[in-house]
């Protein structure tokens, strides 16, 4: 009899083919076997026609990438360990020393921090533009501009830009565009097809998506994706992705695959709850301004309506309030601390509602005129009962009265 260990490791049993079930299997591998040296030399992983090494993909990660392409309307997708890694991968794939990147002033904060830290140290400069002023973007594009970031709606203050105008300017000036698509998630609007019926399609070149948010939906997975429709661009990003050694865990990929079928239902349910609460918040005297792109007096409302209002006009599960400036820092903190169902914590689009107070002065190069003075508090709405959430905010407001 052969040695037991050897026999267990090189076991001859192969399960029958043809297994079919609702969920994609969890394939785990660093090592992938080749049947021959010839196969080892000739197998191609760049076009997903085969398997070579765990870093380059497994049936589980390929399946998730294809489903995310369907969600966002892209053709090529790569998975990375977080949404922030997706943002960084885009910059590292496109930019080199001497180039400049333009970033909207209301971009996801760590996107700006990455530009101010790593990019600057590598000789890549950045400028911040006013996302509500396409002429400001146009004026800032120079021969050194190689990438323009877009975000709709913007982070924390949720202004909705004229995305179509911004993309048209970049196309005219032949500058690549990358959209942080976490808020729209492929549901509120189609980033690669911004104007219906326009041929060729008007859209962004690249999307980065914090899969951590809606695609996961559980508040328990960190993941990001980078997507494009362009084959040459996809290859460029893929080579950087490979050289950086980025990969995601098979169990995390499985969790997202399991959550994806309900993303449409969750997006819509959380959207409706959020809009109801945002409208109610407008009637509370302590809040001098409520920020949500679907509120008629919110900055960029008309652009949101134009882009997101064909069929189901979608908006994500976020709204922010500005607490009257007569409240002290300590009072604002006490209001947030008094919330019971809303937990203090970062991220959003999971089952639990969250709250974060922000200091806008540290976040914007220019504090926009369209914002009232006071402290910004952002709510993200989970899946709890809406009336319970409203009652929670109402009881916490008592600490201010």
Ligand X SMILES: *Cc1c(COP(=O)(O)O)cnc(C)c1O
Residue 91 lies near ligand X (rule: CB under 6 A): no
CA 356 to chain centre: 18
Residue 222 lies near ligand X (rule: CB under 6 A): yes
Binding span for ligand X by CB under 6 A among 77-85, 130-138, 196-204, 264-272: 77-85
Taking the least distance from each CB to ligand X, the nearer of 64 and 397 is: 64
Taking the least distance from each CB to ligand X, the nearer of 207 and 332 is: 207
Taking the least distance from each CB to ligand X, the nearer of 84 and 141 is: 84
Residue 257 lies near ligand X (rule: CB under 6 A): no
Q: Can you spell out the DSSP letters for 296-357?
A: TTSTTHHHHHHHH-SSS----SEEEEEEETTS-HHHHHHHHHH-SSSEE-S--SSSS-EEEE
Q: What track of x and - describes contact with ligand X for positions 108 through 137 (by CB under 6 A)?
A: x-----------------------------
Number of residues lying near ligand X (CB under 6 A): 14
- Nearest residue (beta carbon) to ligand X: 83
Taking the least distance from each CB to ligand X, the nearer of 286 and 300 is: 300
**What is the rounded end-to-end Cα distance, in angstroms, of the chain?**
82
Q: What is the largest CA-CA distance in the chain?
A: 84
Taking the least distance from each CB to ligand X, the nearer of 183 and 342 is: 183
Q: Nearest distance from residue 43's CB to ligand X, in Å? A: 31
85 close to 246: Cβ distance less than 8 angstroms: yes
Tokens matching residue 213: 């948010």
Run of H or E residues at 244? helix 231-244
Residues 346-375 that bind ligand X (CB under 6 A): 347
Query: Per DSSP, what are the bridge partners of residue 289?
Result: 322
Residue 380 lies near ligand X (rule: CB under 6 A): no
Q: Nearest distance from residue 286's CB to ligand X, in Å? A: 26
125 close to 155: Cβ distance less than 8 angstroms: no
* Out of 155, 177, 228, 380, the residue judged to bind ligand X by CB under 6 A: 155
Residue 180 lies near ligand X (rule: CB under 6 A): yes
Residue 274 lies near ligand X (rule: CB under 6 A): no
Instruction: Summarize the chain as % helix, strand, coil (round to 5).
Output: 40, 15, 45
The residues, any chain, with a CB within 8 Å of residue 107's CB and separated by 6 or more, are 128, 149, 151, 154, 155, 180
* Out of 57, 224, 293, 374, the residue judged to bind ligand X by CB under 6 A: 224
Binding span for ligand X by CB under 6 A among 76-84, 115-123, 328-336, 386-394: 76-84
Give me the sign of the Cα torsion angle 274, 275, 280, 283.
positive
Taking the least distance from each CB to ligand X, the nearer of 182 and 298 is: 182
Taking the least distance from each CB to ligand X, the nearer of 51 and 224 is: 224
Residue 212 lies near ligand X (rule: CB under 6 A): yes
Binding span for ligand X by CB under 6 A among 2-10, 119-127, 210-218, 243-251: 210-218
* Out of 57, 73, 74, 83, the residue judged to bind ligand X by CB under 6 A: 83
Report the distance separating Cα 304 and Cα 44, nearest Å. 43
In angstroms and rounded to an integer, the radius of gyration of the C-alpha atoms of the chain is 23
Tokens matching residue 361: 């002065």
Q: In this structure, what are the phi and psi dihedrals at residue 281, rounded to the nearest 5 degrees?
A: -60, -30
Q: Is 341 exposed, middle or buried (0-12, 13-18, 19+ CB in 10 A)?
A: middle
- Collapsed DSSP state (helix, strand, coil) of residue 201: coil
Taking the least distance from each CB to ligand X, the nearer of 112 and 275 is: 112
Taking the least distance from each CB to ligand X, the nearer of 157 and 182 is: 182
Residues of this chain that bind ligand X (CB under 6 A): 82-84, 87, 108, 155, 180, 182, 210, 212-213, 222, 224, 347
């Amino acid at each position: 009899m052969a040695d037991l260990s050897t026999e267990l490791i090189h076991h001859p049993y192969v399960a029958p083919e043809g297994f079919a079930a609702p969920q994609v299997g969890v394939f785990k591998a660093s090592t992938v076997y080749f049947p021959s040296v010839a196969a080892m030399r000739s197998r191609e992983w760049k076009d997903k026609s085969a398997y070579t090494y765990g870093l380059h993909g497994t049936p589980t990660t390929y399946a998730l990438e294809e489903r995310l392409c369907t969600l966002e309307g892209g053709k090529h997708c790569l998975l990375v360990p977080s949404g922030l890694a997706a943002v960084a991968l885009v910059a590292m794939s496109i930019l080199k020393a001497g180039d400049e990147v333009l970033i909207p002033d209301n971009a996801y904060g760590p996107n700006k921090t990455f530009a101010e830290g790593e990019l600057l140290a590598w000789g890549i400069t950045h400028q911040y533009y006013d996302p509500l002023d396409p002429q400001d973007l146009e004026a800032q594009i120079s021969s050194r501009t190689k990438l323009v970031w877009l975000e709709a709606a913007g982070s924390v203050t949720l202004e909705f830009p004229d995305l179509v105008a911004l993309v048209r300017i970049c196309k005219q000036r032949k500058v690549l565009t990358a959209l942080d698509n976490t808020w729209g998630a492929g549901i509120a609007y189609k980033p690669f097809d911004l104007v219906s019926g326009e041929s060729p399609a008007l859209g962004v070149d690249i999307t980065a998506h914090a899969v951590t948010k809606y695609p996961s939906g559980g508040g328990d997975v960190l993941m990001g994706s980078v997507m494009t429709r362009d084959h040459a661009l996809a290859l460029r990003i893929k080579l950087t992705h490979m050289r950086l050694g980025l990969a995601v865990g098979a169990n995390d990929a499985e969790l997202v695959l399991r959550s994806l079928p309900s993303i449409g239902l969750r997006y819509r349910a959380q959207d409706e709850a959020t809009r109801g609460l945002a409208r109610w918040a407008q009637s509370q005297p302590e809040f001098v301004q409520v920020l949500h792109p679907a509120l008629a007096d919110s900055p960029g409302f008309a652009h949101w309506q134009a882009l997101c209002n064909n069929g189901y006009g979608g908006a994500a599960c976020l709204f922010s309030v500005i607490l009257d400036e007569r409240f002290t820092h300590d009072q604002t903190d006490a209001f947030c601390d008094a919330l019971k169902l809303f937990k203090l914590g970062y991220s959003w689009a999971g089952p639990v509602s969250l709250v974060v107070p922000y200091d806008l002065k540290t976040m914007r190069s220019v504090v926009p005129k369209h914002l009232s003075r006071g402290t910004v508090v952002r709510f993200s709405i989970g899946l709890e009962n809406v009336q319970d959430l409203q009652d929670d905010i109402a009881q916490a407001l008592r600490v201010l009265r």
